Amino acid sequence: MYRSISRQLKIQQQQQNFMMAITHELKTPISVARLNLETLQKYNLDEEKKQKIIRTTLDETSRLDFLTNNILVAAQLESNNFKAEKEELDLTALLKDCIRQFSNRFPERDFTEEIEADTDIKGDSLLLQMLINNLLENAAKYSPKGSPISTSLKKIRSGIELQIKDEGIGIDQAEKDKIFNKFYRIGSEATRKTKGTGLGLYLCRKIAKDHNGDITMTNNEPQGSIFAVTFKS
């Protein structure tokens, strides 16, 4: 009984933390976009400043779109209401497009690629794009701004392997088994500084499984993390 009550209290606390985090995460891009639009309306700025504000606003709306998609798809997958549209896809082109978008969002980042051509997979393009974006978002979030993010995609004997490496803070051994749980976030609520909802890696595992795949996390030497997704043929 004690274990059952403790488990329920922990779940409730995680849900409360999620609601607090998502409220903050949604309000921030809305507030920034509104302030930027009011600035453009109120002041006669030169073209360079206008373009900078427009780029920032587009970045914030992309972030908002990313967050809402994660929430909606997580809810639909949980209730089995999401109907995946499986079709033959060029995973090479999909991955390169995701990297290009992140390169535009984070121009200070060095995104390195080792991507095999014509890597085809049968899957849902929206879900696979979400998986890639969540892994790239994590790599950018938990590593220094100037550090590189490496992406590889290759055909292996058992299927296709996607890897995303960063040189960030890494993940403690004690937390490696928990990071794919819903609402789980690294560290404590009192000391955590990075933004997030605890849905990203949970979604990655669900999406990988839905595409006959596995996701694992290992250490990147000398520091950082390597997330690998293996899609079995």
Examine the domain organization and report whether 152 and 95 are in the same domain.
Answer: yes
What's the mean pLDDT in 18-37?
A: 76
Provide mean pLDDT across the span 42-59: 90
**What is the CATH classification number for the domain harbouring 64?**
1.10.287.130
Of 38, 57, 78, the residue at which a domain comes to its end is: 78
Residue 18 has pLDDT above 70, yes or no: no
Burial classification of residue 190, based on how many CB atoms lie within 10 Å of its CB (0-12 exposed, 13-18 middle, 19 or more buried): exposed
Domain that holds residue 53: 2-78
For residues 64 and 126, state if they share a domain.
no
In sequence order, the 6+-apart residues with CB closer than 8 A to the CB of 96 are 113, 115
CATH number at residue 119: 3.30.565.10
Average pLDDT over residues 121-138: 93
Q: Are residues 92 and 36 in the same domain?
A: no
Backbone dihedral angles phi then psi of residue 96, each to the nearest 5 degrees: -65, -35
State pLDDT tens for residues 83-122. 778 899 999 999 999 999 899 888 888 999 999 999 999 9
CA-based nearest residue to 179, from 203, 161, 162: 203
Q: Are 230 and 153 in contact (CB under 8 A)?
A: no
Mark whether 131 and 19 lie in a shared domain: no
Residue 71 sits in the same domain as residue 100 = no
pLDDT at 194 over 80: no
Q: What is the pLDDT of residues 57-94, one digit of tens each?
A: 988 888 788 788 877 887 777 776 667 788 999 999 99
| 74 and 91 co-located in one domain | no
Long-range residue pairs from 169-174, CB within 8 A, at least 24 positions apart, any chain: 169/142, 169/143, 169/223, 169/224, 170/219, 170/220, 170/223, 170/224, 170/225, 171/217, 171/219, 171/225
- 100 and 210, same domain (yes or no): yes
Residues 102 and 199 in one domain: yes
Q: Do 153 and 212 fall into the same domain? A: yes
Residue 191 has what pLDDT?
Answer: 38
Give burial (CB, 10 Å; 0-12/13-18/19+) of 65.
exposed
